[in-house]
Structure 1
Amino acid sequence: MIYDFTNFIDLPHIGIDSIEKNTGKLIGYRTVGEDQISSGKYLFTKKHIIYSKIRPNLNKVALPDFMGVCSADAYPILTVEEKMNRIFLAHVLRSDYFLNFILSFSSRTNLPKVNKSQISKFKCPLPPLSLQNEFADFVAQVDKSQFACQMAIKLWRNSLKSSII
């Protein structure tokens, strides 16, 4: 956790409101300077996973591809690269299997929250790293295909609007 933001003023600040539920897409974030943050936050890199510990039912698990600072309401999780692919782990953390496990600890009614100790109790099968890497490559291909489809739909809608006018 860091408290002095002098050297991080231009870095992105990821609050849990910047993480889209279920998808982990990072949306609408600003810089540390723009948000004028002053309380303790966590530094993360593109090797981390950002996991929101507040309201775990929203399933906010992000995979940043940049360095930044995240809310103290989230944990930056770093995998041991020789044992676990971070994309694989992020998908496990978004899974119903993990969600059902972690929700069993969320007994607070006003603002459900989980802690590191509870998260560390989670156990799941760990495939060989080669299979995890294959999974991550597959996810990357699906993401590219999804993006291409979204762009095609956008282009189609724009051309449809143009032809109507």
Structure 2
Amino acid sequence: MTAFPRRAIAQLIISGKSNIKPAIEEKVWGLNLDQIESGTGKILEKNMAALSELGPSTYPFAAGTVLYSKLRPYLNKVIVAEEDGYATTELVAMRCDLDQVFPDYLAYYLRSPEFLSFANRVVAGAKMPRMVMSEFWKYEIPLPPLPEQRRIVAMLDKADALRAKRREAITKLDQLLQSVFLEMFGDPVTNPKGWPETKFLGDVADICSGITKGRRTTDDTQETPYLAVANVQDRHLKLDSVKTIWATDAEIERYRLAVNDLLLTEGGDPDKLGRGALWDGSIRDCIHQNHVFRVRINSPSISPIFLNWLVGSARGKRYFLSVSKQTTGIASINMTQLKKFPLLIPPIELQVHFALAVSKIEAHQQELEKARDSAEQLFQSIQQQAFAGTL
């Protein structure tokens, strides 16, 4: 085992902002936080704009600069710039002393669990936490010799490419499912296939809200698992952290979930309205919170999987945005509005055929997700061992 010497970040940096001076109307890369993918250093999209359009809260940086997001450091946004550009002031620019540190090595370390843990502890502000920069510059990172830094980066690059391929394969399956839905049913907004539009969601399903936290009861209660908004994602459940609540027998009976109940969130970011997933029955006697609607189909004319996709489609999102209450970037819908969601009703045989296709593709997707998780574990293992000097 080799323990690498450690040096403060400030001692590894020779400069920050660049002195590049493009013409005022020349198009430049304007980098903001939304362009950076959390945890990977990947640029999601490059925004090119005339320098005159960028505004005063930007500064120039040169290719090879390490850029670290001091705003909400838990999002873990760090990149090495591939070309010159202009960045928001929420990004800290670091031109590395190349005699001491390889930029990609520094970026990988700043994205590591060890540094992320430190960053989450050293912040100021509640709603918009920012890194305390005086602590950032003092932080000492492990610093092996440059050839070892390059060896570590090469190994991490290979492991990172593997996990990226796994994520890309899962994304392609998502796109395939979208294509199958549109091919079978057409655009649900314009309804080019002329499916009947005479029914509303309340006509084919029982809809109810869930249990309320902090309520008072004099009856005996028992600890019961319940689903909150965070557990209900877009067409999938996130069950790695399921909370419990003390509920009476009557409440458990009333709110107990059944397989194929459609769970829909009451509100959140406007673009996430209509977010919902089907209950899979994986937790016994599980109930749901009052900010999650339970939709239980009571009609043979519609299948749960088709309904999940229809509600989550552009048709659903447009409807919910049009009727929702919106305040300070948060949108919400009530039960009356949900019951009035206008349905499309294709033949049930076609819906069942779609459900079978979804099941087959999702089974393959689950295998890919296991492979993705294995690739992620491999990357984290290499990362941990490399920075500890045990690789």
Please indicate the TM-score interval, normalised by the length of the shorter structure: 0.7 to 0.9
Within 5 Å, give how 1:146-161 maps onto structure 2: none
2:120 maps to which residue?
Answer: 103
1:54 to 71, 87, 91: 71
The 3 A distance-change label for structure 1 pair 55 and 147 is closer
Within 5 Å, give how 1:39-118 maps onto structure 2: 39-118=56-135
Q: Distance in 2 between matches of 1:142 and 1:8?
A: 41
AA partner of residue 13 (structure 1):
G
- Residue range with higher mean Cα deviation, 96-105 or 132-141: 132-141
1:11 maps to which residue?
Answer: 28
Residue ranges of structure 2 left out of the alignment (5+ in a row):
1-16, 181-391
Q: Distance in 2 between matches of 1:38 and 1:98?
A: 32
The 3 A distance-change label for structure 1 pair 125 and 57 is same
TM-score (norm 2): 0.36
Q: How far did 1:77 drift?
A: 1.2
Partner of 2:131, secondary structure, is coil
2:329 maps to which residue?
Answer: none
AA partner of residue 40 (structure 1):
S
Tell me if structure 2 keeps the 8 A contact 1:32–1:69.
no
Q: Distance in 1 between matches of 2:124 and 2:150?
A: 36
The 3 A distance-change label for structure 1 pair 150 and 103 is closer
Q: Distance in 1 between matches of 2:33 and 2:97?
A: 24
AA partner of residue 25 (structure 1):
K
The 3 A distance-change label for structure 1 pair 93 and 148 is closer
Partner of 1:124, secondary structure, is strand
1:130 maps to which residue?
Answer: 147
Residue ranges of structure 1 left out of the alignment (5+ in a row):
none
The 3 A distance-change label for structure 1 pair 102 and 147 is closer
Tell me if structure 2 keeps the 8 A contact 1:102–1:118.
no
2:40 maps to which residue?
Answer: 23
The 3 A distance-change label for structure 1 pair 35 and 15 is farther
Tell me if structure 1 keeps the 8 A contact 2:72–2:128.
yes
Over the aligned positions, Cα root-mean-square deviation in angstroms equals 2.8
AA partner of residue 127 (structure 2):
N
Q: Distance in 1 between matches of 2:24 and 2:154?
A: 34
- Residue range with higher mean Cα deviation, 27-36 or 52-61: 27-36
Q: How far did 1:41 drift?
A: 1.5
Tell me if structure 1 keeps the 8 A contact 2:67–2:93.
yes
TM-score (norm 1): 0.79
The 3 A distance-change label for structure 1 pair 101 and 37 is same
AA partner of residue 14 (structure 1):
L
The 3 A distance-change label for structure 1 pair 103 and 64 is same
Tell me if structure 1 keeps the 8 A contact 2:25–2:52.
no
Q: How far did 1:73 drift?
A: 0.8
Partner of 2:142, secondary structure, is coil
Cα deviation code 1:10-38 (max 9, x no counterpart): 12111011111111211123113299211
- Identity rate of aligned residues, in percent? 25
Decide which structure has greater strand share.
2
Tell me if structure 1 keeps the 8 A contact 2:61–2:87.
yes
